[in-house]
Structure 1
Amino acid sequence: MLNNQKWLAKLPKIILAFVCSLFLFSLLVLGVLRSTLFNQEFMVDQVHDTKYAEMIAKEINTNISDIGLASNIPAEVLSGVVPAEIVQQNVDSYIRGIYTDVPFNLIGTDQIGTNIDQAVAQYAEEKNITITEDMTANLTYMKESAITIFDQYVKLPYLLTYGHKVMQFDDTLILLFIVTGVVFLLLLIGTMMVIGKWWHRRLRYGAYIFGGAGLMMVVVPMLIYTSGYIERIAINSHAIYLFLTSYLTDFILRFVWVGIGTIILALILWGVSEPLRVKMRNEINH
Structure 2
Amino acid sequence: MRGSSFRRLASTLSVEMRGAPVRGPVLTDGVGVVERGGHGFNAGDLVHARGLRGTWADRAPLEADATRVVKLPPATPVARAAASFAAAATAYGLLRDVDAGDVVIHLGAEGAVGQCVAQICGARGAKALGLVSGDVLDPGDAVDVLKNLGAVAAAPARFARDPACRALVADLREAAPSDTATLLVDCERIDVAAVNEVLRAAARGAGAGRAAMASADARDVRDAKLLRTCAALCGAEATVHAHGAAPEQLLVGGARAFHLDQFLDGASGEMAAVVAAVAKADATVFSEAHSDATLPHALHGLDGTVAKHAYRQPVWLADAP
The TM-score range, normalised by the shorter chain, is under 0.3
More relative contact order, 1 or 2 (CA 8 Å, 6+ apart): 1
Q: Which has the larger radius of gyration?
A: 1
Greater share of residues in helix: 1
TM (normalized to structure 2)? 0.19
